[in-house]
């Protein structure tokens, strides 16, 4: 019987429903991410989003509570530059306008290393773990990981020195020398010392952060005091230097006046002169000649300087100063001609007419410059000769006048000169003495350029960490991470979650959404009995929906195969529930267990040892012996019977075809519970023999690739796949998913059902 060809055991072609074919082309995928899809994804994955929203702030709050608190104290300082009246001090300490650069300089002064080192020395910060990293590092020797790694390294040192060196912990740092320790602690202080300029003001805010609130306030106040004290010391030092210079100048002028007075007295004594008696015409003439000679010599020096500058080839600016602006213009024209020639030579050949013309213009300009230069030099030379002649003439006149003077007259001239020099020295001495007295008084009333507006107080609340800010930032980060995780989970979720996805991903109609029966809903009932015990429940309505979908087709099938891609999809429960539901509607229904290797129908009806399909196909039992009756609904069912490893051959036999022909005549609906289609060939053979095949897909569990693969196998077997049923749907979760078919679980329909 098993050796007959398969074609002979199948029903005639005109009695078999046509095989279903999927539409050609690529499988339709779900729509891209839009606002509705995003809201739906958030509704489905809100637990993930809520978990991230709660977990991140909780972790941040715990971390903030476990962090060592730090306190920040602030001192406010007003920068007010003082005015200086003395001109000498203004040359030493120039008052600058308060610009951003000046304020930035004051900030760097406060944050200087010298200030930080004095802060370290004043408070002994090299003995605090907070600022001395080597002290913190020494604590590492008392930790358990350090001791474990050290003991482990000692244990393996004899076996492998290299491994022991790798395992050994990092050595404890040595205490640096005092000066280096102070500098490193000062650098740590600078990292915690913050100085800022209040916007649009001259107010400096000095802040210091420390784990000790009292230390933070003390360091901030001392930094401001050191800044002000340094300013005052700088001013005192500048005034002291000015006083020293003025005192030295006073001494020098006094010595000069004393020396001149001594010379005047000596000349008067030697020449026997008296003040104002021997002044005559010759003295006045000599004075005028002397003045003219000085002026002539100045003129000669200027003329010789201009002549020397012209002969040395000075620049255009020097020649302009000498009155040769025409020469500068000609040099400018020469430079323009040279640039024009260079420009043309870079693009044209040397024989080009434009290049030759430019070269001619350059040569002409060079000649003009040379000619003008010669003219300027000649003019300057003539001017210098005239000046020399005048100097020579004045010197001759002076010598003649001096020769005519006797010794008395010469002494009188020298005496007048010394008196003038002495008077000038006295005047300068009086001015310097006045300035010296002014600087002395300035020292007594000197003020710093800054003052403390408000000193730092001991902070009562730590500035770091801020739990509220941490929690808020963590909440925002949690939301962002939750959204990213929701997106990732949505992209990574390849399962089928709604009837729309069945239609779009598989090209099949979704005939029903079968709700999951949780333990709380079942109560004392079994899943297999629920449709009979609770005929008005949503589960029973899903079975009626499935039966109506099968009946409403153009060719209502009589023999329906219920299968799935893999075990655990709920196919047996769906087959039993569908069969009982149809039987309760008054139909003649037969349920046949075709899952020979994993039979479930007999166990559900408590008929595990009863003969079944395999016994009939093997000829070991008659038809009447294998058909049994369900006492709850009047449903007829056939168990699987004895396990048989050659079940595929049995389903391909003529006996199987005969069995189906008989039950087709006797019943309105025959439900075949087939094994999973992906792994078992029995399902494909049974599906080929039936009128229709219903594919069960577990909600949010079965990957689409697995369903597509099993669907392709059924298509290859020429099975007529009429649709799919989404099984074990969590009603509450699906209701909040945002899918269109989740409307059926809305509470507004609760009046139609009775659990």
Per-residue model confidence as pLDDT tens digits over 289-309:
888 778 877 887 877 777 777
* Residue 218, pLDDT above cutoff 90: yes
* Residue 323, pLDDT above cutoff 70: no
pLDDT at residue number 253 = 82
Query: Shortest CA distance to 74 belongs to which of 202, 211, 223?
Result: 223
* Residue 696, pLDDT above cutoff 90: yes
pLDDT at residue number 637 = 96
pLDDT at residue number 97 = 62
| Of residues 417 and 92, more confidently modeled | 417
* Residue 330, pLDDT above cutoff 80: no
SS (H, E, C) 418-485: HHHHHHHHHHHHHHHHHHHHHHHHHHHCCCCCEEEEECCCCCCCCCECCHHHHHHHHHHHHHHHHHHH
- 641 SS3 class: coil
pLDDT level of residue 566 (50, 70, 90 thresholds)? very high
Mean pLDDT of the chain: 82
pLDDT at residue number 136 = 80
Compute the distance between CA of residue 299 and CA of residue 383 in angstroms, rounded to an integer: 9
Give me the helices (H) in 612-723, please.
613-617, 623-626, 647-651, 654-666, 681-689, 704-716
- Is the dihedral angle over the CA atoms 535, 538, 539, 545 positive or is it negative? positive
CATH 3.40.50.300 for the 6-22+507-752 domain, yes or no: yes
The most confident of 63-72, 335-344, 371-380, 622-631, by mean pLDDT: 622-631
pTM listed for this prediction? 0.54
Compute the distance between CA of residue 328 and CA of residue 365 in angstroms, rounded to an integer: 12
Compute the distance between CA of residue 739 and CA of residue 40 in angstroms, rounded to an integer: 7
Compute the distance between CA of residue 222 and CA of residue 144 in angstroms, rounded to an integer: 40
State mean pLDDT over 136-164: 84
pLDDT at residue number 86 = 47
The most confident of 15-29, 309-323, 351-365, 616-630, by mean pLDDT: 616-630
* Residue 144, pLDDT above cutoff 80: yes
Strands 721-729 and 692-698: parallel
pLDDT level of residue 89 (50, 70, 90 thresholds)? very low
pLDDT at residue number 404 = 62
- H/E run at residue 262: helix 213-271
pLDDT at residue number 645 = 64
pLDDT at residue number 196 = 93
pLDDT level of residue 317 (50, 70, 90 thresholds)? very low
- CA distances to 40, 84, 311, 512, 695 from 704, rounded to whole Å, are 20, 88, 100, 18, 13
* Residue 263, pLDDT above cutoff 50: yes
Query: Shortest CA distance to 328 belongs to which of 280, 363, 376?
Result: 376
State mean pLDDT over 467-476: 91
pLDDT at residue number 541 = 92
The most confident of 255-264, 358-367, 401-410, 660-669, by mean pLDDT: 660-669
Spans of all domains in the chain: 6-22+507-752, 23-67+466-506, 69-98+202-464
- CA distances to 342, 359, 361 from 349, rounded to whole Å, are 11, 12, 17
Q: In what order do the strands lie in the sheet with 721-729?
A: 510-515, 721-729, 692-698, 559-564, 669-673, 589-593, 636-638, 628-629
Count other Cβ atoms within 10 Å, centred on residue 94. Answer: 8
State mean pLDDT over 683-698: 95
Query: Shortest CA distance to 614 belongs to which of 586, 658, 573, 655?
Result: 655
Cβ-Cβ contacts under 8 Å for 114 (sequence gap 6 or more): none
pLDDT at residue number 216 = 93
End-to-end CA distance of the chain: 50
- CA distances to 418, 421, 502, 688 from 408, rounded to whole Å, are 15, 20, 137, 155
* Model confidence pLDDT, tens digit, residues 516-561: 988 878 878 888 899 999 999 999 999 999 999 999 877 899 999 9
| Of residues 746 and 595, more confidently modeled | 595
Rounded to 5°, the CA angle 79-83-87 comes to 145
Q: Is 446 exposed, middle or buried (0-12, 13-18, 19+ CB in 10 A)?
A: middle
State mean pLDDT over 27-49: 67
| Of residues 632 and 397, more confidently modeled | 632
- 133 SS3 class: helix
Compute the distance between CA of residue 424 and CA of residue 439 in angstroms, rounded to an integer: 23
* Model confidence pLDDT, tens digit, residues 389-431: 888 887 887 777 676 665 565 677 777 787 788 888 788 878 8
pLDDT level of residue 94 (50, 70, 90 thresholds)? very low
What angle, 0 to 180 degrees and rounded to 10, lies between the N-to-C axes of helices 538-551 and 571-584? Answer: 80
Helices (H) and strands (E) counted in the chain, each on its own, are 30, 12
* Model confidence pLDDT, tens digit, residues 160-204: 888 888 888 888 888 899 999 999 999 999 999 999 999 888 999
* Residue 24, pLDDT above cutoff 60: no
| Of residues 122 and 318, more confidently modeled | 122
Count other Cβ atoms within 10 Å, centred on residue 475. Answer: 16
């Amino acid at each position: 019987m098993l050796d007959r060809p398969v074609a002979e055991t199948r029903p005639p072609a005109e009695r078999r429903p046509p095989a279903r074919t999927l539409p050609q082309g690529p499988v339709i995928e779900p729509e891209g991410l839009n606002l509705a899809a995003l809201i739906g994804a958030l509704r489905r994955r809100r637990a993930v989003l809520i978990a991230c929203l709660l977990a991140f702030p909780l972790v941040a709050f715990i971390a903030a509570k476990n962090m060592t608190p730090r306190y920040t104290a602030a001192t406010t300082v007003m920068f007010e530059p003082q005015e200086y009246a003395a001109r000498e001090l203004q040359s030493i300490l120039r008052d600058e306008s308060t610009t951003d650069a000046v304020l930035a300089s004051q900030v760097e002064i406060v944050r200087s290393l010298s200030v930080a080192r004095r802060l370290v020395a004043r408070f002994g910060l090299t003995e605090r773990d907070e600022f001395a990293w080597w002290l913190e590092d020494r604590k590492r020797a008392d930790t358990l990981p350090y001791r474990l790694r050290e003991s482990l390294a000692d244990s393996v040192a004899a076996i492998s020195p290299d491994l022991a060196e790798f395992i050994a912990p990092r050595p404890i740092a040595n205490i640096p020398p005092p000066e280096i320790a102070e500098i490193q602690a000062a650098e740590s202080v600078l990292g915690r010392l913050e100085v800022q300029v209040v916007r649009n003001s001259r107010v400096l805010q000095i802040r210091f952060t420390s784990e000790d609130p009292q230390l933070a306030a003390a360091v901030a106040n001392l930094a401001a005091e050191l800044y002000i004290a340094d300013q005052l010391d700088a001013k005192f030092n500048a005034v002291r230097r000015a006083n020293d210079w003025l005192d030295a100048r006073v001494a020098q002028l006094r010595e000069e006046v004393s020396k001149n007075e001594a010379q005047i007295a000596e000349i008067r004594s030697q020449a026997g002169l008296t003040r104002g008696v021997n002044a005559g015409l010759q003295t006045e003439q000599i004075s005028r000649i002397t003045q003219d000679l000085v002026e002539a010599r100045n003129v000669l020096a200027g003329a010789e300087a201009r002549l020397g500058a012209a002969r040395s080839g000075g620049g255009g600016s020097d020649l302009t100063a000498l009155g040769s602006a025409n020469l500068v213009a000609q040099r400018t024209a020469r430079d323009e001609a040279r640039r024009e020639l260079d420009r043309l030579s870079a693009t044209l050949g040397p024989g080009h007419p434009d290049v030759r013309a430019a070269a001619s213009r350059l040569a002409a300009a060079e000649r003009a410059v040379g000619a003008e230069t010669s003219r300027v030099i000649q003019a300057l030379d003539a001017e210098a000769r005239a000046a020399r002649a005048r100097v020579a003439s004045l010197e001759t006149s002076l010598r003649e006048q001096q020769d005519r003077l006797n010794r008395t007259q010469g002494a009188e001239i020298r005496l007048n000169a010394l008196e003038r020099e002495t008077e000038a020295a006295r005047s300068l001495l009086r001015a310097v003495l006045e300035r010296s007295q002014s600087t002395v008084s300035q020292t007594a009333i000197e003020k710093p350029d800054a003052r403390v507006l408000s000193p730092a107080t001991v902070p009562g609340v730590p500035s770091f960490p801020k739990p509220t800010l941490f929690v808020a930032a963590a909440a925002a980060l949690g939301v962002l991470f939750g959204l990213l995780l929701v997106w990732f989970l949505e992209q990574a979720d390849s399962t089928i979650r709604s009837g729309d996805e069945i239609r779009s991903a598989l090209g099949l109609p979704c005939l029903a959404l079968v709700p999951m029966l949780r333990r709380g809903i079942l109560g004392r009932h079994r899943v297999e009995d629920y449709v009979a015990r609770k005929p008005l429940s949503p589960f029973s309505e899903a079975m009626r929906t499935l039966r109506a979908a099968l009946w409403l087709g153009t060719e209502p099938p009589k023999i329906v195969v219920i299968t799935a891609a893999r075990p655990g999809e709920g196919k047996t429960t769906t087959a039993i529930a569908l069969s009982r539901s149809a039987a309760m509607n008054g139909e003649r229904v037969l349920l046949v267990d075709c899952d020979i290797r994993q039979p479930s129908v007999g166990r559900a009806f408590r008929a595990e040892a009863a003969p079944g399909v395999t016994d009939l196909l093997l000829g070991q039992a008659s038809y009447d012996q294998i058909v049994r009756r369900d006492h709850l609904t009047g449903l007829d069912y056939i168990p699987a019977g004895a396990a048989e490893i050659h079940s595929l051959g049995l389903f391909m036999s003529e006996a199987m075809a005969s069995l189906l022909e008989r039950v087709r005549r006797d019943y309105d609906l025959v439900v075949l519970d087939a094994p999973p289609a992906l792994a078992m060939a029995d399902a494909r053979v049974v599906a080929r023999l039936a009128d229709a095949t219903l594919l069960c897909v577990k909600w949010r569990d079965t990957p689409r690739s697995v369903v597509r693969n099993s669907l392709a196998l059924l298509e290859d077997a020429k099975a007529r796949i009429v649709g799919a049923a989404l099984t074990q749907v969590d009603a509450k979760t699906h209701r909040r998913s945002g899918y269109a078919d989740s409307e059926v679980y809305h509470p507004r329909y609760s009046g139609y059902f009775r659990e």
